[in-house]
Amino acid sequence: MSYVAIKGGETAIREAAELLQVLRTRGSAQGETPLSPEAIEHQLHFLHSQVMSEGGLYDPQLASLAVKQSLGDPMEAAFLLRASRSTRPRIANTPVIDTRKMRLIRRISSAFKDIPGGQMLGPTPDYTQRLFNWELLDESDESFRDKLVQWAEGLGVDSMAVGDDSPLPKVLDFLREQGLVDDAPDPCDEPFDITREPLVFPVDRSAALATMTRGQQGGIVALAYSNMRGYGDVHPTIAELRVGYVPVELAHPVTGEPTEAGEVLITECEVIAMYERADEAAAQRTGVGDTVEIDPEAPPRFTLGYGACFGHNEAKAIAMAILDRSLQKGMRDGPSNPSEDAEFVLLHIDGIDAMGFTVHYKMPHYVTFASDLDRLRKTQQQHADKQQATEAESPVTEEVVSP
C-alpha cells in the first residue's frame, strides 16, 4: 500500500533530519573541516548579508549559524532568523538614523561625474571581468593570509580599520538646495511595524518600505525589472548608493539621552525619477489620504524613490528604491501595472511566505485530492449520461471522417 509510505511518522522525520546532517558532513571522511560562523560571515559576505536582510534581524552570528544550519539555502536561512525573531518581544524603537553619519565602505552616484566627498568605489564586483579565478580552487592558508597583509601594507595601516568616519553630505542635499527635488518628508512619529500589525490595504509608505526591506531579493529585483522593461515608467537615476555602518542609538535607561548602542551594516539607495508637477510631487510626499495644498505656480521637480536594507545588498536596495517610487505613483493615481500595485508587490515579495507556501505542496493532500476525484468522476458520469440520452433520442448516424 504505497500511500502508507508518506505517513512515516516520527521515525521518518527523525531519519530525514539525520540524513540532512549526513549531506552536510559527507566530506568529513576526506578530511573536510566544518565551517566556522566567522568564515561564513566573511567569506560568504553577500549570502550572509542577504540572509540578515530577508530575515529582518541584524545578528551576524545568528545569520552565520542560519546559513550553516540551512546548508546555504538563503530562504531557509532567512526563515530561521525570522522564526527566532518571533520568540522575542519588541523592546524599543530607535530614533531615526541619519545615514549621513554612515561609516562608509562604498559610495557612488551615477547622476554626477564627481560629487562632494568623491566617488568611492569600495569593494564591488561591478567592474571585474567575470572570468574564473582558478587560484581560489586550491587556495592555501598562506595565500589567503597574504591577500590581507599585502593590502594593509600598501595602505600603511596595521588592521582592518576600514571605513571613513567623516560625515559626508548627501547628493540629494544639494539637489534640494537647487530646488530640483522636493524637500525631505517629515519623519513619521511612529513607524509602521509590520511584525506587530497586519497589512490592511491601502497601507502607508512606511509599511510598504518595511515590507520591501525584508523582501526576497530575487522577488524584488524581478518586480522592479518589470518596471524598468516597460511595465512602468520610473526611468531611475541613482542619486546615491551607500554601503557602510550606521550608528544605532537608544535612549539611555537612566538619563534618557540618546546613546549609541552599536552599529549596523546597511545598503542605502536614493533614486531620482522623471520630474512631475510640484503638486504631484507634494502629493507623493504626504502619502495616502492626506489633502494637499496645490500651488499651480510651483515649478516642476524630480521625484524620489528610497531603498535601504540590512547588510550589503546593492541590487536589492536599488530595486526597492524603484519599487518605492512606482508604488507611490500607484497609491496616488491607481495602479496601471503590477509594480505600481501595492497589494500585488507587497504580498508577493516576502521570501518566507512565498517559499513556505510553495514547498507546502509536498505535504500529503490526499483528502482534497479525493474530493477532486469525486467531482471529476461525477462530472464524467454526467457527461456520459447526457451523451447516452442524446444518442437514444436521435438515430445513430455514421460519423464522417475527413481525410
Partner 1 sequence: MNLAELQSPQHREHTFGLIDETAKREIRRATLKAVCVPGYQVPFASREMPLARGFGTGGLQLTLSMIGEGDTLKVIDQGSDESVNACNMRDLITRVCPGVEPTFKTEDASIFQTRHRIPETPMREDQTLVFQVPYPDALVVVEANEARRVQMHGEADYARLFVKLYEDIVQYDEITLSHRYPTRIHGHYIIDPSPIPRYDVPKLHQSKQLNLFGAGREKKIYAVPPYTEAKPLEFQDVNFRVEDHLDDSGRRLTCCKCGADNTFLDELVLTDGSRAYACSDTEYCRRMVMQAKAARQTEGGTP
**CB 375 to partner 1: min, Å:** 4
CA distance 218 to 303: 25
As beta bridge partners, residue 306 has: 270
Residue 323 C-beta: closest distance to partner 1, Å: 19
Task: Pick between residue 62 and residue 224 the one whose CB is nearest to partner 1.
Answer: 62
Distances (CA, A) of 22 to 18, 71, 72, 354, 363: 6, 11, 15, 28, 23
Q: Which is nearer to partner 1, 21 or 371 (CB)?
A: 371
User: Of 124 and 337, which has the nearer Cβ to partner 1?
Assistant: 337
Q: Does 198 bind partner 1 (CB under 8 A)?
A: yes
Figure out which of the listed residues 126, 133, 386, 391 binds partner 1, where binding follows CB under 8 A.
386
Which CB atom, from 133 or from 195, has the smaller least distance to partner 1? Answer: 195
- Cell triple for 234: 520610473
Q: Which is nearer to partner 1, 127 or 361 (CB)?
A: 361
As measured in angstroms, the least distance from the Cβ of 30 to partner 1 is: 33
CB of 278 to partner 1, least distance (A): 29
> Is 118 or 364 the residue whose CB approaches partner 1 more closely?
364
Peptide bond preceding 202 in cis form (omega within 30 of 0): yes
The site string for partner 1 over 312-351 (x = CB under 8 A, - otherwise) reads -------------------------------x---x----
| Nearest distance in Å: CB 223, partner 1 | 16
Q: What is the DSSP letter of 274?
A: E
Cell of 107: 559610495
What crossing angle do the helices spanning 60-69 and 45-55 adopt, rounded to 10°? 100
Which residue from 24, 45, 85, 277 is in contact with partner 1, where contact means CB under 8 A?
Answer: 85
Taking CB under 8 A as the rule, does residue 3 contact partner 1? yes
197 binds partner 1 (CB under 8 A): yes
Q: Which of 41, 58, 77, 79 is in the footprint of partner 1 by CB under 8 A?
A: 79
Distances (CA, A) of 62 to 37, 38, 72, 80: 8, 11, 13, 9
Least Cβ distance, residue 73 to partner 1 (angstroms): 12
Residue that is written with C-alpha cell 458520469 in the block: 381
* 279 C-beta neighbours (distance < 10 Å), count: 15
Say whether 94 sits in a helix, a strand or coil. Answer: coil
**3-class DSSP state of 270:** strand
Give the footprint of partner 1 on residues 4-23 (CB under 8 A): 4, 6-10, 12-13
Other CB atoms within a 10 A radius of the CB of residue 30 amount to 6
Compute the least distance from the CB of residue 345 to partner 1, in Å: 13
Nearest approach, Cβ of 231 to partner 1 (angstroms)? Answer: 17
Of the two residues 8 and 27, which places its CB atom closer to partner 1 in the complex?
8
CB of 152 to partner 1, least distance (A): 30
- The nearer residue to partner 1, 130 or 375, going by C-beta atoms, is 375
Q: Decide if residue 153 touches partner 1 (CB under 8 A).
A: no
- CB 305 within 8 Å of CB 343: no
CB of residue 214 vs partner 1: minimum separation in angstroms?
A: 10
Query: Using CA atoms, how far apart are residues 18 and 38, in angstroms rounded to an integer?
Result: 25
By rule CB under 8 A, what string of x and - marks binding of each residue 344-383 to partner 1? ---x----xxxxxxxxxx-xxxxxx-xxxxxx--xx--xx
Alpha-carbon gap, residue 399 to 58, rounded angstroms: 72
Phi and psi torsions of 107, nearest 5°? -160, 120
Question: What are the residues facing 258 on neighbouring strands?
Answer: 251
Of 265, 342, 279, 317, the closest CA to residue 105 belongs to 265
**What whole-number distance in Å separates Cα of residue 51 and Cα of residue 66?**
8
In the range 93-122, which residues lie near partner 1 by CB under 8 A?
none
By C-beta, is 98 or 353 nearer to partner 1?
Answer: 353
Q: 47, 75, 73: which is closest to 60 by C-alpha? A: 47
Q: Does 199 bind partner 1 (CB under 8 A)?
A: yes
User: Interface with partner 1 by CB under 8 A: which residues?
Assistant: 1-4, 6-10, 12-13, 79, 82-83, 85-90, 194-202, 343, 347, 352-361, 363-368, 370-375, 378-379, 382-383, 386
